[in-house]
Structure 1
């Protein structure tokens, strides 16, 4: 596949070059001017930006089903009165269709890879293959200190891992997914740590999302949530922890020292009134910070372009400093930092890297004139500006049309319930 004459965001230093890009198999093999390869597919990108696909490092894709259901309430009330009761009504069929809708939304906004934690995850895996994105999928474990429940959660996790292995797809990856330190017992967390080592599996978890959560953990253990994870054996380079709003200085130091990742979810954190992450301190202490949308029930979109804009603006206003965070740092959170957390050879446009690519149409009034392409991506671009999406060397969307899933069928499914 040959992408011709695009404006390419090249390499780790984010240099803009006008060039062609050649893909063979699932890799970028050559970038240069006037390439003349015997390609099966040639795409004209002369009016487009070619950028690495975005990595949504924390979401719950089927929660699009609950979009707009619970508004203007704090997290625990949101969960206990609205989300959890309605989730109990969801079966496999509903989760499958919700995941399809969520993945289509993510693809339209340039997401090529995502981390997902939910239930009926076999259905999310099926939707992932159908749309053609790369998923790191985990069954969300919640045992609430109940031994019987813990055995069930362990069994479900082991069952799902076997399912992923059986699919034998480069697009499907297993990830351990204990929900949070306040919903998982120490025994559950230690089991996850043991299996992470045994299976060489990554771990995703919610961490220090609210003040009340931190107070609950301190009352129960006499320690911070991060110290609890450390005691469980989870604080290492395989840990991908969402939120991290209420971390103290010691916790930030421990996360950086141990190579763990924090995933910033600004829209969800703002909407639920959970708080504001200390992004500058995390980055300055060597913590790998990714970017995520969380679920659409608390966002209400899965648009990583919008998430970049919010992440930047939020830090500027809370610190009363427009220079507190650079556009390049925000963009790196949405791409390269996510790839680092997932141990993926992705996140930048460069020879030898995975061909996970978003092509953004510049013929949009909101993107012109383009005085600074990177700034335009972070502050001006939106989901509908992505016209072509390539995942693992295969075209998912071309000129705004899906080449994989029947988008109209999925949309009509939801229009039919209005």
Structure 2
């Protein structure tokens, strides 16, 4: 199947983009439509690569607005974990569908997720047509029985994911060093190396986590992982606010990827001095994440980009830090590099994962600099008009098929979970 986008703004040129199958076949000032091709007008639109959200918890859309304005551990232990214990597979499926809808409507085409019942999130992803790396969450808290169960399930889910489309990839998600034992983290490393999958881990998120790690293990979180022997290119770590120069050197030396989550870091007061510039200089692959809706309240990567850029400038007292172009790169190309995808930019031979942005929305006028406008002036939900993933139109003119039913079902499940029904 062919899709021809006519006369769309790409960077600073008006051009045609021909998509054949799942790839971008040709980009040129004028392309004659192949026989049977669908033609999509790009008039008053700009083509941008799909955003790649490299850290979230999709089904936690159901927690939006619940347990706000609390410290991290109180929020987790007294609010989030008790409700999660009541969640069914169907609840996760419904929450994940709502997340996929929200991501589509704001221009995200791929995400890295960590949550329970990953097959239910996979089902939602398959139905709405996104691309996703989905983590099975390991959470043993030092208990041998749960650790054994998590190891068993890791193999089972790995096999089950083979029956899904190539848009859905299995990853391991050990929750954090304070909920997963060192032995289990080493299992994750061996599994990742053997099966060539990613490990998705929260790390060095709070000062309390660092202090506890020193108390329990005699060293800081990154050094602890180094002692365990699990720093590698398979590892993707989220937050990473509390690190020093030597730890960043270790991350760079071992090819570890890092994801900045500015919204949740600020809201939960985990920390604000994310060392983006220092990590970039070391060649560390950097992504941008929204985190889950329970801690950031939305999944809009455009808003996440703005927060990442402004926060980086503010704590440094430097208007030249965390430039819009760099943050935009982390939200597109950087995310693709972290996940090993042939995506993140619009070029011949790349995956056809892209969005058309409506240039007539007021906050994109005038168009002195599209990247600047995207990072500083707008939100994805207000400017993204059409989303294409794997060469298929998944949202057209801000409408996703079935979106009304998805929203209604999510309301119903949330009302039941929180005792309103």
TM-score tier (shorter): over 0.9
Are the equivalent residues in 2 in contact too, given 1:28–1:355 (CA < 8 A)? yes
Residue in structure 1 matched with residue 404 of structure 2 by the alignment: 408
- Of the candidates 344, 353, 356, which is equivalent to residue 347 of structure 1? 344
Partner of 1:216: 212
Map 1:8-407 → 2, pairs under 5 A = 8-9=10-11, 16-38=12-34, 40-167=37-164, 169-276=165-272, 277-382=274-379, 383-403=381-401, 406-407=402-403
**Structure 2, unpaired ranges of 5+:** none
In 1, are the aligned partners of 2:129 and 2:389 still within 8 Å (CA)?
Answer: yes
Cα distance, 1:342 vs structure 2:
0.6
Q: Is the 8 A contact 2:308 2:322 kept in 1?
A: no
Structure 1: stretches of 5+ with no match in the other structure: 10-15
Farther off after superposition, 362-371 or 227-236: 227-236
**Distance in 1, Cα, partners of 2:292 & 2:320:** 29
Report the CA distance between 1:415 and its aligned residue.
4.3
Contact 1:100/1:131 (8 A) holds in 2 = yes
Farther off after superposition, 379-388 or 26-35: 379-388
TM-superposed deviation, 1:319: 0.9
What RMSD, in angstroms, separates the aligned Cα atoms of the two structures? 1.2
Distance 1:260 1:4 in 2: 40
Is the contact between residue 181 and residue 228 of structure 1 (CA under 8 Å) also seen in structure 2? no
Residue pair 1:23, 1:393 contacting (<8 A) in 2 also: yes
Distance 2:346 2:13 in 1: 11
Q: State the alpha-carbon separation in 2 of the partners of residues 287 and 401 from structure 1.
A: 37
CA distance in 1, matches of 2:183, 2:361: 53
SS in 1 for 2:325: helix
Post-superposition offset of 1:120: 1.1
Give the drift of 1:163: 1.4
Aligned residue pair count = 409
Contact 2:62 2:410 in 1 (8 A): no
Cα distance in 2 for partners of 1:384, 1:376 equals 12
